[in-house]
Amino acid sequence: MALTYLHTMIRVKDLEKSIAFYELLGLKETRRYDSDAGRFSLIFMAPPGQEDAPIELTHNWDGDDELPSDSRHFGHLAYGVDNIYEVCQHLQDNGVTINRPPRDGRMAFVRSPDNISVELLQNGDALEPAEPWTNMESVGNW
């Protein structure tokens, strides 16, 4: 039996905030579908060159008040990065809280505007521990 990965769907409350967050991570919109009859939009975003591994942002035009405030039941998305310190600094400079700083030069966690946990992993070997990350405390859940 052949199995092909298609996408991971995430329901979002504020489409523009969510798109902006995933763009900060480096994802690009690859496809969009708007349903007037169903009153929803599907926005597919993926890292450049990896269009076959997208996330699908599902936005209900009339709101989605049933989304839980803590999306821990989902688990997390994970992305490999070339320099975890640079990525975390870029996110932090743009107002994203680093929930689990990359103290070990290897792993960090952030949250999307919809409280989706996103793991960032250093590609290859861990970087040497460096400030300000080494002594930065974790914030909230990840």
Active site residues: 119
b/e map 87-123, b = 16+ CB within 10 Å: bbeebeeeebebbbbbbebebbbbbbbbbbbbbbebe
HEC profile of 5-24: CCCEEEEECCHHHHHHHHHH
Record the tokens describing residue 33, joined without a space: 């579908």
